[in-house]
Structure formats: structure tokens, C-alpha cells
Amino acid sequence: MSELILGGVGNPVNGNTSLVRSAFRPSDDATILPFLIPANAFMSVELEHLSLILRDRRVHSLSSTDSITTIAEKARAISHGIANGINENAIFKHPIFSDVYAYEIDGYGGRIVMDDANLPSLLSLPLVGFVDRKDRVYQATRKMVLSDLGNPYYLTGHQFKGIGGPHIGVRHAWPMSLLVQIMTSDDDVEIIESLRLLKSSTGGLGLMHESGNFFPLFLRSNEWG
């Protein structure tokens, strides 16, 4: 686990964004820029779910519903505020992939462009319910994070390819990323190829690894030039 800089406080952020700070990524690594976009997207979705649950409870409750209504409305307002904050601050025009989501931002224009295999991730945004998988910005982001031209932690080799992350280094990919790739795809060719790679990654044991260096040398254009 890495630590936050500035004595554990982390990098400063612009408070005028409606976004929520994250000290750590799902991988347990410290964030570089504290507005972790996949985590904010997940929170936005779940706050909307909370609002719906509370409104349903209000209908069936025999007690006073004033406080329940207030909490439900507040949860919904925060949910929409976070979603608007993402759309206003986290989308940028990539020189190759057009309009995409950044992985982390600071609200001042700073951004980290990458994706990590752990969920929530940019690749998993449709799975957590934040966007439709056919959404234009998501599709562009998906192409970016599944390419070593857009994601420094997308690894391609002779026997395997997938997303890894800083937690495990630049030579290990996570089979989990292929599972997310499958669940966010409508392309039969892509799905079948991903399943083949997953099956071949078990070493004949039929056991899925958390991560692995599945080949002696990753073919990385940005590492080997």
C-alpha cells in the first residue's frame, strides 16, 4: 500500500466540483489526484439507489415521513451533483480517442489518464450503472483503456493481454480485467477471444489467478519504443 503525499493529506483539490475525495484506489494504492472518477461514479449511482429505497420506505411507513423524505431528497441531490461534477470536470479531449473520462482529477485541470483492473474502474462504468455501454464517451474511454496508446497499464504479450495497475507493476495483467471487458461488450469476437485468453491463463489447473506475468516479455510500445 502506498501513502498519500504531503504528510498523508494528499494533493489539494478544487472544492467547487461537487466531487468526493478518495484517499485510496480499490487496489489500496494511494490516489495521485484525490477525485477518483470511478469511485465518484459508483457513489453517484448508489446514492440514487438509496434515495429510491427511502422513498419506497416512506410510502410504506406508518411513522412520520418528514425525516425520511428529507434524507431521500438530499441523497438524490448529492447523487446528481456528483454526476454533473464528473461530466463537467472529468471529460477531456484525448488526442487519439476524442472525448474520454480521466481516471483521477483535481478540479484544477490536472488529470491522471489510465485505468486499473480493480473495480470500480473506468472500464466498469456500465456495470456499476453510471452510463449505458453504448454511451459515446464511454465507448471512446473503453477504446482508450484497452490500448497501450491510452492506458499505461494495458499490457499485451504473446499469450495474454489485459489491464494491470500500479499495485502489481508494469509486467502483470489481471484476468479480472478481461471479465469486465466481456461484461461490457456486445462483440462476440471480442468476448470469445477474451474467454480463450482466460481459459489459457490457468496453467491447465482451471484456477483463475488474481494476476500474473503470463509471458517472458510484454510488448509495450511505450516501454520498449
d(CA 98, CA 17): 23
Q: What is the mean pLDDT of residues 22-30?
A: 94
Residue 13 has pLDDT above 60, yes or no: yes
Q: What is the pTM of this model?
A: 0.89
**What is the CATH classification number for the domain harbouring 195?**
1.50.10.10
Q: How confident is the model at residue 170 (pLDDT cuts 50, 70, 90)?
A: confident
> Coil, helix or strand for 68?
helix
Q: What is the rounded (10 degree) CA torsion for 155, 41, 22, 33?
A: 60
Q: Which domain holds residue 95?
A: 5-224
Residue 203 has pLDDT above 80, yes or no: no
Percent of the chain surpassing pLDDT 70 = 90
Q: What is the pLDDT of residue 68?
A: 83
Quick check: 115 and 125 in contact, CB under 8 A?
no
DSSP helix, strand, coil percent of the chain (3-state; round to 5): 40, 10, 50
Count up the domains in the chain and report the number: 1
